[in-house]
Structure 1
C-alpha cells in the first residue's frame, strides 16, 4: 500500500512538472509570438512611407520672371510699324546731325532726304559712306534721283559740310536742259517747229552720256537751297526738263528715261490732265493749267490775265499734279514782274524761263535760265553745254 502511495505521488509530481513545463513553454511561445509581431510592426513602420516625409521640403517662394525684351530702335520701330517688306528705314549721321530716321521704299527714288543747316557752314549732301562724304564723291552722293537700296531694311547715310568760302569758290553753274518734242527721223521734221524736235537717237546718246559720266542730278529743292547758298552742288550737275508732255515725249522719250534711270522733269499743261504715270524717273510739274495760249496781244495768257486769274490757274494746276509747287515753266517763256508776283502768291518757289544761261548762287528763282536743246544737237554739243 505504501508502495502504491509512493507511485501515486510520483505520478502527481510528474504531472505537475509537465504542467509547469507546458506553462513555461506557453509563456515562452506567447513571448516569442509577441516579439515577432512587435518586430514585424517595427519593420512595417520603418518600410511604410510617411506621407509628410514624401513631400519636398518647401524652399523660399519665387515667381517666374519673364525677360524684358530690348526696346526697338527708332529705325526698327519704323519698319515694324510699316509692316512692308519693301520699307527701308534711313538713318542719318555726321557732324551736327540729329535727325530722326525716315521711311523710304526700296527700289523707288528717295523722297525724304532732308537738307540740314548749320551755323557758318554749307551742307554738301548725303553720301553712301563716310569716305564718300569726306571726298565729296559724286558717285557716292545720294538724292531724289537715286533709287533706295537697303540691307535688312535699313541703311545709314552720311552728311558732308563745307565752308561758305569753299562753296563760293567752287563757282558752280547748273545747266537746265530744255527739250520739247521728239522724232524718229534722223533728218528731222519739217516746218517752223523743226528745231523743237530732237532726234530720238540723239536723245538716247545724251542720256547715256549723262549717265556714264555720272553727272549729279539735283532735285528742285536742292536747286533752291543752292541758289540761297545753303547747299553745295558740284560743277558737274545737270537738270533735264521737257515742255508740254507731247505724245512724242511720252511714247519715244520716256521709255529711254526708264532704261537709263536719269531723273527728268516733265512740265505738263494740266488742262489736258496729269498725264500717265510711266516711270518714277519723270517728275511732273506745272506748265500752267490753261495759260498755254495766246492772250489779247498775242503774248501768252500769263502776261495778259489778271493777278487773281493767274493765281487761280496755277492753284488748279498744282491740284491736278497732286499739290506739287516747287517750280513752273512759263508758257512760251513769257513772263513779267506781275506774272512773277502771281507765281509767288500762288505758292510756287521757282519758275523756269526759256532765256539762255546757267543757274548760280543768287540767281532769280522766278526767272531760271535754260540750255535749249534743238534738233541736231549731238553728244559733242551737249558736252560743250554741260561739261
Structure 2
C-alpha cells in the first residue's frame, strides 16, 4: 500500500507530539526578582489552545523550615527591642526560657531544687558554675545583658554538707535618715542620721569588695537550707523612705549599682521607686504609729486587721515578700497577720545575723548609726 506525502506528514506530527509528552524539561520562572524552578514530568497531559496537549507541571516540594528554638519563639511574642530571652542550663535543669529586659535588674530567676543537692546560684558560664565563681554569679541584684537578645545562665550546685560547712551568717544592714553634716543632726533622732559621706564610703567598700547581694527569695531559701549563700554576702536596707534617703542616699546606690531595699510606709508615700537599684517593700500601710499602750499597732491590732493593712500596702507597692515591723514591735499575733497576708519574711530591729534555720518572721539586723565608719562596717560584715 502506497503512503502519500500527506499521510507521512500526519504520522510525523503525531510522533513529534508524543515525544513532547515524554521528554522532561525544566521551566524557569522569574518571580519578584527570584528564580523558582518547576520540573516538567510525565504527568497527565493538558489541552492547549490549538487542540494539542502539553505535559502537566508539578511544583518542586517546599523545603521544611527549621523549627524555632524556645528562645526564638519567646522573642516572637514581643516587639520590645530590649527584650532578652534567658535560657537555663546545667545538670538536672529543664526550665523554659524567661523574658527579661536588658539594662533592668533580673526579676524572678528560678531557684531549682534537687534531692541531695543545694542550689548554688546562676553563673555566666558552665566553668564558673562548676567552680562557683562568686564574681560570675548572677541574681536579681544584676542588670540584664545579652547578645542578639539571648543569654544562657548555668546552674551551680553544692552538697548539703558543704552548705552547712560554709556556716554563712548574712547581715542585713538597717539605715534610716541621712545628713550632709559631718557633725550630725542635733535632735533626739541623732543616731538615726548617717552622714552621707560615711554612707558613700561604706557603699564603696561593699561594691569594691565584691560582696554578694542576695535577693529576698534567695534569703528565704537559704534559711530552709535549699540555696547556698557565701559568707561574703550582705543585704542593704533603709527604713521609712525618708526624704533624706530619696535625695541623698538613693543616688549613691544607683551610682554604685548596689541592690537596696527601702521599706515604705505607703500611707505616707505611694510614688514609684527612685531608681532601678531600689526595691520598695512594705513598712506597713498605716501601722507605723502607736496603739493604746504606746507600742506599735502591729502588737495591738488583731491578725485580720494586720493582714488587711499589709494587703493594702502590697497593692500599692506591687510586691509582698518581706515586711519591716514598725518600731521593731512584733509578737505571735503579728506573725499570724503577716502569714495571712501572704508575706514570707518579717524583719525586726534586733541585732544579729541570718543563718540556716533562722525564724523567717523574726529576721535580725545590723543597725547603722550616726558616726559609724567603714571600719565599723568591716567589723560588722567582714
What is the alpha-carbon root mean square deviation over aligned residues? 1.8
- The CA distance in 2 between the partners of 1:277 and 1:367, in whole Å, is 26
- The CA distance in 1 between the partners of 2:355 and 2:253, in whole Å, is 26
- The CA distance in 1 between the partners of 2:222 and 2:279, in whole Å, is 20
Contact 1:104-1:112 at 8 Å conserved across structures: no
Give the match for residue 333 of structure 1: 328
- The CA distance in 1 between the partners of 2:271 and 2:15, in whole Å, is 88
Could you list the per-position Cα deviations for residues 95-131 of structure 1 after superposition, in whole angstroms to 9, with x for gaps in the alignment? 1111111111111111121000001111111101111
Offset of 1:80 from its aligned partner?
Answer: 1.3
Matched ranges for 1:346-385 at <5 A? 346-385=341-380
Offset of 1:206 from its aligned partner?
Answer: 1.2
> Aligned to 2:42, which of 56, 60, 63?
60
- The CA distance in 1 between the partners of 2:73 and 2:305, in whole Å, is 47
- The CA distance in 2 between the partners of 1:364 and 1:109, in whole Å, is 28
- The CA distance in 1 between the partners of 2:211 and 2:363, in whole Å, is 20
Give the match for residue 304 of structure 1: 300
Contact 1:175-1:237 at 8 Å conserved across structures: yes
Contact 1:102-1:112 at 8 Å conserved across structures: no
Cα pair distance change 1:377/1:52, threshold 3 Å: farther
Cα pair distance change 1:52/1:190, threshold 3 Å: farther
Could you list the per-position Cα deviations for residues 334-355 of structure 1 after superposition, in whole angstroms to 9, with x for gaps in the alignment? 1111111111121111100000
> Aligned to 1:81, which of 77, 82, 86?
77
Give the match for residue 53 of structure 2: none
Matched ranges for 1:88-99 at <5 A? 88-99=84-95
Structure number with the higher strand fraction is 2
Instruction: Please say if 1:218 is aligned against 2:200.
Output: no
Could you list the per-position Cα deviations for residues 316-340 of structure 1 after superposition, in whole angstroms to 9, with x for gaps in the alignment? 1111111x11100000101111111
Contact 1:329-1:352 at 8 Å conserved across structures: yes
Q: Which has the larger radius of gyration?
A: 1
Contact 1:124-1:233 at 8 Å conserved across structures: yes
Unaligned runs of 5+ in 2: 23-40, 44-57
Offset of 1:263 from its aligned partner?
Answer: 0.2
- The CA distance in 1 between the partners of 2:274 and 2:63, in whole Å, is 51
Partner SS for 2:140: coil
Partner SS for 1:139: helix
Offset of 1:85 from its aligned partner?
Answer: 1.5
Offset of 1:227 from its aligned partner?
Answer: 0.2
Partner SS for 2:219: helix
- The CA distance in 2 between the partners of 1:106 and 1:229, in whole Å, is 31
Could you list the per-position Cα deviations for residues 10-58 of structure 1 after superposition, in whole angstroms to 9, with x for gaps in the alignment? xxxxxxxxxxxxxxxxxxxxxxxxxxxxxxxx9xx99xx9698499444
* Structure 1 length-normalised TM: 0.85
* Structure 2 length-normalised TM: 0.86
- The CA distance in 2 between the partners of 1:276 and 1:188, in whole Å, is 29
- The CA distance in 1 between the partners of 2:181 and 2:300, in whole Å, is 37
Contact 2:273-2:279 at 8 Å conserved across structures: no
> Aligned to 2:381, which of 366, 382, 386?
386
